[in-house]
Structure 1
């Protein structure tokens, strides 16, 4: 009985453990990061589950915060465009790689830039809980080999859930 009780307590405590922090990139040049990023694939939040043509746009505000406009079509390419407007705040001493993203005051969700290529063309944004992740690019569609490499990187960051590839209207 004592073993069962101890095993149960150990299981509860293991469930309460803090996740391994999401490793951020070494540095983000904020002005260079600003602009449009197409959401290529993700583990979506509730609002994004059926997103088509998803785009995250960042604009640096005079006070250093980041105005974000997330636009998408819900369920099809023909649906009307929905938009959300969270504001990002760069966390101190993170070299601009960790933000608090505020959708509803006073809650700020963790937003970690975990991968960013040298040319600022592809990025992966994640969270330490490994509950959400976004692969984004400056173009709406990526070559298969680039996409596969980014998906592998998401796995290396500790994600185990399958990604949803976001339908984007690609001009080929």
Structure 2
């Protein structure tokens, strides 16, 4: 019993050290994002809890292109049995990769939206912030198979995110057309 406790403690300690070491490195984004392919609706599969999403289910985001090249962002969720819609705007901040954006919902506040993992077919994406306090796992469908989800969680952990904070989002149906 003592050996098991010691082994568990050592494993947790090594995990914490690895997490800390990964979190000290600059956050790497994907090499390139085709913004036109990225546009459309994404469903939140899991995320770090944030005050602005408290009480939300069926969370999704729809992205569209503005004439000036910026991206219109329309976040939706069901909160207190009502549809809640928040609109914002995003700008690409790294034109070489298109993987780093700044998002603004309320002036003058902007947040960093970095695409850190992306399926070749744009069926899933992982978005984070370089401070690693924000993380979203997104899918084009309201569900994501367990194998893919687990792979994305491991890859996010390897990038220094404390994935123990991830909470799966309840997705009852497709509310993207509302």
Partner of 2:56: 51
Q: TM-score, normalised by structure 1?
A: 0.82
- Structure 1's 143 and 86: CA in aligned 2 closer, same or farther, altered over 3 A? same
CA-based RMSD: 1.8
The yes-or-no answer on 1:21 pairing with 2:20 is no
Aligned residue in 1 for 2:45: 40
- Deviation per CA, 1:2-35: give whole Å up to 9, x if none: xxxxxxxxxxxxxxxx964321110000000000
Q: Which runs of 4+ in 1 moved over 4 A?
A: none
Structure 1 residues 80, 170: closer, same or farther in 2, change over 3 A? closer
**Correspondence 1:97-112 to 2 at 5 A:** 97-112=99-114
Distance in structure 2 (CA, Å) of the matches to 1:166 and 1:148 = 15
Q: How does 1:19-168 map to 2 (within 5 A)?
A: 20-74=25-79, 79-160=81-162, 161-168=164-171
Deviations 1:77-114 (A, max 9, x none): xx101111110000044421000001122222111000
Q: Give the count of matched residue pairs.
A: 151
Higher helix share: 2
Return the TM-score normalized by structure 2.
Answer: 0.79
Contact 2:61-2:76 within 8 A present in 1 as well: yes
- 1:35-93 CA distances to partner (integer Å, 9 max, x unpaired)? 00000000032111322100010001111100000000126xxx101111110000044
- Structure 1: which 5+ residue stretches go unaligned? 1-17
